[in-house]
Chain A
Amino acid sequence: MKDVDDKFLKNIDKEFPLREELRPRTVTTPDGQEIEIEPLKDYFCEAAPKVHPKAYIPIVENFYNWARANSLWILGFGTGCGAIEMRPLMTPRFDAYRYGIQWRPTPRQANLLMISGYLSVKTLKRAVRAYEQMQGPKYVVGLGSCTINGGMYWDSYNTIKKLDQYLPVDLYIAGCMPRPEALLAGFMDLKKLIKAGKCEGANKYAENFAFYKENQKSVIKDWDMPDYNW
């Protein structure tokens, strides 16, 4: 089931006009000429994501995958209540660092996007953007029941029920909330998957780009960004 009934779709263009700063505007150059600026074209890269092949030599790819698995850099992005369970991983008791896991403040340097709890429509937009700004190979882990089926918010008007309709999820960690131990177990599983070469979420996202975009746009009404956020 889709989250949204098409019958209720309204004329989005009218109701959610493009943000003012993204509408084409006319500016005067220093020389006095008038030029058109189309922000979405001029300021954002429009290229679609590419499918990146694996390394040509399998052993190299395996080596890379081993390194990727042992160097999981998490984007520090807490979406919901699950984020509270992430913090203990940095403490002496759990210390995820010893597994090569660390938190990076910028998506450019992170490989792993933890969707820590439910995503509201508003947060989804940010999550999508953050995900797209990460460099592949990259992984998505859904944390908690809410990311799987909406959990206790299954009938909410404002939350996302099935995360994998919007982002290529590599792994779910069930629970409401999953305890840090469960998270660690999840990371171990993710490592195994990566080492096995099964985590090709980035390529999957690129392959099924249209599908993901359609789903994303069906809930995010004020889509005020390019299709792919480089």
Chain B
Amino acid sequence: MTFEWIQVPYALATLFIILNYGLLMTAVVQKLAARVGGRPGIPVWQNYIDLVKNFALRSKISHGVMYYLGPVFRLSGGIGLIFFVPTIYGSTWAQNFSFAGDLILALYFIFFGTLGMALGAGESGHPHSAIGVSRGLAQVTAAELPMALAVYAIAIQYQTLSITEIVAAQQGGLFNWTLFTNPIAVAAAMFAYVGTTMRSPFDVVIAPQEIPIGPPTEYHSAYLALMQTNRVIFPIAKTIIYMNIFFGGATNWAEFAIKVFLLYMIPAVIGVVHPRFRVEQSIRFFLKWGLPVGVLAILMV
């Protein structure tokens, strides 16, 4: 696959769809949590308003260059992740720029935004930001482990690292999905999926009152808006990866919407009924439960 200019508008269109879908999905999750608590909850368009409001703030402050660039890194990480992963299997225009790299690129690019964000939060000089970052990084090391193992298992299973080829291998029926051909790997990956979406029980990173929402504690206005944008597209991007390699991918936007929605709801549903883990508890949790499953996955392939 090579680059053609037409891919740019295609990719932007994909981005646009995902952005809107993400904004709605986030609101739906919040709504879900509200309903579980017996509240009506926010309007589904609330996130749009918040975004506009944050862009519309008049006064801003800056703590320095990295502080300024942090949200840029963050959002570039999210957008880039979308761009590096093919969204719809078989579609000519939703392949984005996936010719640049394979699954490994996607897996490692996840850290790009995290790193930038951590740096930006660090430069704000706020100890709570640093505490949040420290927690987040500590937790993610354990949480990503089953995913790495699962990916390795999958790659061995399909003998490829190309996302497109993995999706292609799962076509032709429900039971060709990795979910059924390699359920252990999927189970392992789901540990990571739940663990890295920053929802309860793994959300001590952004404990709202203890360390006022952690890393972004100093962020506001357009900075915050960029981060909010990322916050809505990034989980979708990640879900797309999971969908592609474990759940047969999507051949059209409808399938995409349904699969992403269902996947997205998993951590949300788990989140609303679970209290919070402390960091070391979640690390131990992943090592005790996620890791063995992951090991099993690579041994069973």
Contact = CB atoms under 8 A, between A and B. Distances in A.
Given A71-B49, A97-B34, A100-B49, A64 B56 contact: yes
Contact of A76 (B40, B209, B216): B209
A92 B61 contact: no
B38 A92 contact: yes
Interface size, A (range): 20 to 34
A135 B57 contact: yes
B43 A136 contact: no
A157 to B, nearest CB: 32
Interface stretch (A3-11, A24-32, A105-113, A140-148): A105-113
A63 B48 CA distance: 12
B221 A135 contact: yes
Interface string B219-254: 111001000000000000000000000000000000
B41 A71 contact: no
Interface in A141-166: none
Interface string A176-189: 00000000000000
A92 B49 contact: no
A67 B53 contact: yes
A42 B156 CA distance: 58
A105 B221 CA distance: 15
A97 B57 contact: no
Give the dominant DSSP class at A's interface: loop
Given A67-B49, A95-B39, A106-B212, A230 B58 contact: no
Interface in A85-117: 91-92, 95, 97-98, 100, 102, 104-106, 108-109, 111
A136 B61 contact: no
Contacts of B224: 109
A55 B52 CA distance: 14
Interface in B42-91: 42-43, 46, 49-50, 52-53, 56-61
A92 B39 contact: yes
Contacts of A135: 57-61, 220-221
A71 B50 contact: yes
B58 A100 contact: no
B208 interface: yes
A224 B17 CA distance: 51
Nearest to B219: A108
B58 A109 contact: no
B58 A71 contact: no
A68 B55 CA distance: 10
Nearest to A68: B53
Contact of A230 (B41, B53, B61): B61
A230 B213 CA distance: 19
B39 A91 contact: yes
30 contacts: A45-B61, A49-B59, A52-B58, A55-B56, A64-B56, A67-B49, A68-B53, A70-B49, A91-B39, A92-B37, A92-B38, A92-B40, A95-B34, A98-B40, A98-B41, A98-B42, A105-B208, A105-B209, A105-B212, A106-B212, A106-B213, A108-B218, A108-B220, A109-B213, A109-B216, A109-B219, A109-B220, A135-B57, A135-B60, A230-B61
Interface of A: 45, 49-50, 52, 55, 63-64, 67-68, 70-71, 73, 76, 91-92, 95, 97-98, 100, 102, 104-106, 108-109, 111, 135-137, 202, 230
Given A67-B52, A136-B57, 15 more contacts: A50-B59, A67-B49, A71-B53, A76-B209, A92-B40, A97-B39, A97-B42, A100-B42, A105-B209, A108-B218, A108-B220, A135-B57, A135-B221, A136-B59, A137-B57
